[in-house]
Amino acid sequence: MIVERPRDLALKKIAAHGFMLGFLALILFPFFMIVSISFREGNFATGSLWPENPTLEHWYLAFGLDYTRADGTVVAPPYPVLLWMWNSIKIGLIASAGVLALSTVSAYAFSRIRIRGKQGLLDGLFLIQMFPTTLALVAIFAIFDALGEVTPALGINSHLALILVYLSQITLHIWTIKGYFDSVDTALDKAAEIDGASAWQTFRYIFLPLAVPIMAVVFVLSFIGVINDYPIASVLIRSEDQMTLAVGSRLYLNEFKYLWGDFAAAAILSGLPITIVFLIAQRYLVSGLSEGAVKG
Amino acid sequence: MTIADAGPGPSETHIETRPWLRLAIVAVLGMAMLYGAFFLYQIAQPLFGAILLAVATGFVVIFGANRFYGARFIFPGVAAVLVFIAFPVAYTIWLGFTNYSSFNLLSYERTIEVLTSRGTVDPETEQPFAVARDGDGYRIWLPESGLLSEPVTLAVEEEAVTLAPAEPPLDLLSPRDAIKLRAGLQSLTLTTPDEIDLRNAGLRTFASVTPDFVRSGEDMLTRSSDGLVLIANHDTGFFETPDGEPVPPGWRVSVGFDNFERILESKGVRGPMLSIFAWTFAFAALSVAGVFAVGLLLAVILQWEHLRFKTLYRILLILPYAVPGFISILVFRGLFNQNFGEINLILEALFGLRPDWFTDGNLARAMILFVNIWLGYPYMMLLAMGFLQAVPQDHKKAAALEGASSLRVFFTITLPQIIPPFLPLLIAAFAFNFNNLVLILLLTRGGPDIPGTVIPAGETDILASFTYRLAFQDSGQQFGLAGAITLLIFLVVAAISYANFVAMRRAAAKRSGR
């Protein structure tokens, strides 16, 4: 570590790089494979990593366009991928905005406002945040099934119902933002107090502008959490045109209708934007993650 | 959990400029919620009504009274947590004490409605009909018997009119337009000159319909076919014949600990439950151990001062984390496919192997662990890189000077220093994997099935996915049983959650004590 012999060091370097390259080959194999499959003819795996007769058929179908094969047959898209994507993005944006608003205000209150019983609430929050919403799937189904008889807008198959359930994510994020507010110097509040600011004004004009970076992190994390949800959406959404990406994508790999090639193109199309956003934001996300809990 | 202002704070310096505006808004919203609660109560949803009432009361008190100024900030979050997490979890567990399932789906009133609306069509009297326009209303024309009805509106609930012989009307609606009036036609009773009541018996016909069940008293229905009196059994949630034979559909009743007895005592349920329980723990523990080991190893290598291309390696290594999980899992589902998956093609070309990834229980479990470690190691790697940087360099240098090998330094100096801050995150990861529904549902759906069970249970099912399958797939929507199992999961998660709480406290105490 301190004194290394040059030969040992060179050997170690080769071993380290060799290990890394081998590991990366294993890890990145699915990515290469899925790109190759999306350009391959047909829906079954045959042939090499480099497709012999590359075709854009699966890509046309993923974008919702008819594809005319060389022999004149027209193939129609099997599923409305772009519609699902729009559903996912819409639900993700609205739910994340709600989560962000609720958790920022709560986090400020937990961090700064003196309330009797706050420690108890905080402990309760910490304990309850470990309970996943999926634990309540049966009740969620029963509740929205019953509410659907009051108004279909809140029933099974409604996006609004799904968004309401996703608001339960706030437990994780209150924690993340609170950690950030706790690190803000209390001298700022004192100064605001002396100037006669109310708690709301202190929040609105001092804490909110300071919290923009952590709020961006929470928004992205919450958005990713919503997009990735399968269990809740699969219980609440029934019809094909209301589905989110996660629920819809599963239809491609049905035992009776196995559309491997079409799935590959649709997966890249829908996965790429989120991946890019995540990679751009990752430096900021990492700090937010270690404060909060596991990505889910 | 009382929420109130205490002591001096920003709240006391609060001077409001327009209190009347706030009070007006609070009043309007409060009234709206009260109306909603009343409405829910009226349509036989008293539970939801009560919840809305509680929210409304809390809202009006906290936003109406000035002394609760501080609590206003906490109210939305706490209300959301209570309504969206605490209530549904409690409700699920309560359902575990009922027989809620596809056979006992309805309320008692709805069950009677469904049973009494069933009828048997008398084929002798069945005849086609046509609808004729008559000013604003309609008349029903029965061509076979040459009868025409009095005018009807087809817009109100339950209409009854008489039929009389007449000439065929001229202005008949097309069958397609007649079908559009179905709702009105179904609640119409036509009485023939012979005093026979005809009702809509299909899309195109009217006939004499005898109800299968007639309500003959409190908790009693008479079956028309054999004249038997069915008595409502409020313990089982079914109408029963005198011999005790239930007549579906039934309604939801509380059944006490029946579901729990089924889990503990029925052999066909207990056997698979035990194996699922064991696998859930094994899966969560092995996943956490796997991602921790792989993540830490990679972090240590990436931290090595002599390594070049660190940034590139780091970006490529976190790729599995950046791709949405459901896509990666489905990609693996395809790659591992036994017949046309790329993994088996490669294995066959290299070693002549074709493992049954989805039909052999142990191979399926190995596949699940592999995929889960692939998905989860980047998170642990990122965390480990942060914690490794916090380990003081001079400790390591001192050990190295004493002649300790780098492996020894790692296990005696580095690891003991990063485990305590890591512990809460590892516990959280355990809890997350304990309920990792997305992975199981998208990869194997719990399969392959364990042979010889009463309820469908798979070799790779974890408790959460088993519950999901009981409630929402191929086994008759056994919500009650699913709720009972949820209580079991709840207890485990509560234990983990408390352990995490203690670990977090200790880590915090250690930090502040330093």
- Nearest-by-CA chain A residue for B86: A128
Please check the confidence at residue B403 and state whether its pLDDT lies above 90.
no
Q: For A246, phi and psi rounded to 5 degrees? A: -65, -40
- Nearest-by-CA chain A residue for B323: A275
Beta carbons within 8 Å of B271's beta carbon, 6+ residues apart: B450, B453
Chain A residues in contact with B84 by the CB 8 A cut-off are 133, 164-165, 167-168
- Nearest-by-CA chain A residue for B5: A115
Mean pLDDT (chain B) is: 82
Please check the confidence at residue B43 and state whether its pLDDT lies above 60.
yes
Q: What is the DSSP letter of A136?
A: G
Long-range contacts: B354-359, Cβ < 8 Å, 24+?
B358/B444, B358/B447, B358/B448, B359/B447, B359/B448
Please check the confidence at residue B99 and state whether its pLDDT lies above 80.
yes
Q: Residue A50 has what pLDDT?
A: 65
Residue B178 near residue B130 (C-beta atoms within 8 A): yes
Q: Residue B17 has what pLDDT?
A: 67
Most confident of the ranges A186-200, B37-51, B66-80, B309-323? B309-323
Q: Which of A118, A138, A279 sits opposite B95 (nearest CB)?
A: A138
Every domain of chain B with CATH number 1.10.3720.10 lies at 262-513
Q: How confident is the model at residue B513 (pLDDT cuts 50, 70, 90)?
A: low
B74/A121 CB distance under 8 A:
yes
Q: Which of A27, A116, A230 sits opposite B438 (nearest CB)?
A: A230
E strand intervals along B112-158: 119-121, 127-128, 130-134, 137-142, 147-149
Nearest-Cα distance to chain B for A55, in Å, is 19
For residue range A84-101, what is the model confidence (pLDDT) as tens digits?
999 999 999 999 999 999
CATH class of domain segment(s) B10-95: mainly alpha
Fold adopted by A81-291: MetI-like fold (1.10.3720)
Q: Which of B77, B100, B374 sits opposite A106 (nearest CB)?
A: B77
Helix, coil or strand: residue B161: strand
Please check the confidence at residue B182 and state whether its pLDDT lies above 90.
no
Chain A residues in contact with B316 by the CB 8 A cut-off are 24, 27-28
Nearest-10 crossing angle of helices B479-513, A118-128: 120
Q: Which of A30, A203, A286 sits opposite B332 (nearest CB)?
A: A30
Q: Residue B365 has what pLDDT?
A: 94
Q: Residue A295 has what pLDDT?
A: 35
Q: Say how far apart CA B34 and CA B57 lie, in whole Å.
A: 9
Please give the residue that has the higher pLDDT: either B429 or A213.
B429
What is the Cα B217 distance to its own chain's centre? 38
The CATH architecture to which B262-513 belongs is: Orthogonal Bundle (1.10)
Q: What is the pTM of this model?
A: 0.81
Q: Is B155 on the interface with A (CB under 8 A)?
A: no
Q: Which of B77, B86, B496 sits opposite A130 (nearest CB)?
A: B496
For residue range B420-479, what is the model confidence (pLDDT) as tens digits?
878 888 888 898 899 899 999 999 888 788 887 777 788 999 989 988 888 887 667 888
Give the number of residues written for chain B. Answer: 514
Most confident of the ranges B236-240, B245-249, B482-486? B482-486
Q: What is the DSSP letter of A53?
A: S
Percent of chain B with pLDDT over 70: 95
A293/B15 CB distance under 8 A:
no
Q: How confident is the model at residue B270 (pLDDT cuts 50, 70, 90)?
A: confident
What integer is the mean pLDDT of B128-140? Answer: 82
Q: Which of A251-260, B3-12, B23-32, B191-200 has the lowest mean pLDDT?
A: B3-12
Q: Is B403 on the interface with A (CB under 8 A)?
A: no
Please give the residue that has the higher pLDDT: either B105 or B331.
B331
B379/A289 CB distance under 8 A:
yes
Question: Counting Cβ atoms within 10 Å, is residue B514 exposed (0-12), middle (13-18) or buried (19+)?
Answer: exposed
Q: Which of A115, A170, A286 sits opposite B77 (nearest CB)?
A: A170
Residue A249 near residue A267 (C-beta atoms within 8 A): yes
Chain A residues in contact with B468 by the CB 8 A cut-off are 134, 137, 231
Mean pLDDT (chain A) is: 83
Q: A-B interface: how many C-beta pairs under 8 angstroms?
A: 315
Provide the pairing of β-strand B159-165 with B188-191.
parallel
Q: Which of B327-336, B372-381, B455-464 has the lowest mean pLDDT?
A: B455-464
Q: What is the DSSP letter of B412?
A: I
Every domain of chain B with CATH number 2.40.430.10 lies at 119-211
For residue range A6-15, what is the model confidence (pLDDT) as tens digits?
788 888 889 8
Q: Residue A289 has what pLDDT?
A: 55
Long-range contacts: B441-444, Cβ < 8 Å, 24+?
B441/A230, B441/A231, B441/A234, B441/B465, B441/B468, B442/A230, B442/A250, B442/B326, B442/B329, B442/B330, B442/B333, B443/B329, B443/B332, B443/B333, B443/B367, B443/B368, B443/B371, B444/B358, B444/B364, B444/B367, B444/B368
Nearest-Cα distance to chain B for A71, in Å, is 25
Q: Is B496 on the interface with A (CB under 8 A)?
A: yes
Please check the confidence at residue B5 and state whether its pLDDT lies above 60.
no
DSSP notation for A34-47: HHHHHTSSSSS--S
Residues 429-458 (B) with a CB less than 8 A from some CB of A: 429, 431-432, 435, 437-438, 441-442
What integer is the mean pLDDT of B101-112? Answer: 79
Q: Is B85 on the interface with A (CB under 8 A)?
A: yes
Q: Residue A3 has what pLDDT?
A: 55
Chain B residues in contact with A118 by the CB 8 A cut-off are 74
Q: Which of B87, B328, B340 sits opposite A45 (nearest CB)?
A: B340
What integer is the mean pLDDT of B376-399? Answer: 86
CATH assignment of B119-211, among 3.20.20.140, 2.40.430.10, 3.40.190.10, 3.50.50.60: 2.40.430.10
Residue A231 near residue B468 (C-beta atoms within 8 A): yes
Please check the confidence at residue B306 and state whether its pLDDT lies above 60.
yes
A27/B374 CB distance under 8 A:
yes
Q: Residue B369 has what pLDDT?
A: 96
Beta carbons within 8 Å of B51's beta carbon, 6+ residues apart: B83, B87
Q: Residue B373 has what pLDDT?
A: 95
Q: Which of A2, A13, A40, A115 to mutate to test the interface with B (most CBs of B within 10 A)?
A: A115
In angstroms, the Cα distances linking B513 to B138, B424, B509 are 87, 18, 6
Structure tokens at A100: 């962000």
Cα within 13 Å of Cα(B219), Cβ side: 8
A293/B428 CB distance under 8 A:
yes
Structure tokens at B510: 């250690």
What integer is the mean pLDDT of B103-132? Answer: 80
Q: Residue A232 has what pLDDT?
A: 92
Q: Which of A33, A103, A245 sits opposite B77 (nearest CB)?
A: A103
Residue B3 near residue B62 (C-beta atoms within 8 A): yes
B342/A115 CB distance under 8 A:
no
| Domain range list for chain A | 6-75, 81-291
Please give the residue that has the higher pLDDT: either B144 or B1.
B144
Q: How confident is the model at residue A233 (pLDDT cuts 50, 70, 90)?
A: very high
Helix, coil or strand: residue B77: helix
Please give the residue that has the higher pLDDT: either A296 or B356.
B356
In angstroms, the Cα distances linking B456 to A130, B449, B471, B475, B478 are 28, 7, 11, 7, 11
Torsion on CA atoms B443, B446, B447, B452, rounded to nearest 10: 180
Chain B residues in contact with A34 by the CB 8 A cut-off are 331
Most confident of the ranges A1-5, A63-67, A153-157, A219-223? A219-223
Helix, coil or strand: residue A250: helix
Q: Say how far apart CA A217 and CA A225 lie, in whole Å.
A: 12
Helix, coil or strand: residue B343: helix
Closest C-alpha to B58, from B82, B79, B31: B79
Q: Is B497 on the interface with A (CB under 8 A)?
A: yes
B4/A131 CB distance under 8 A:
no
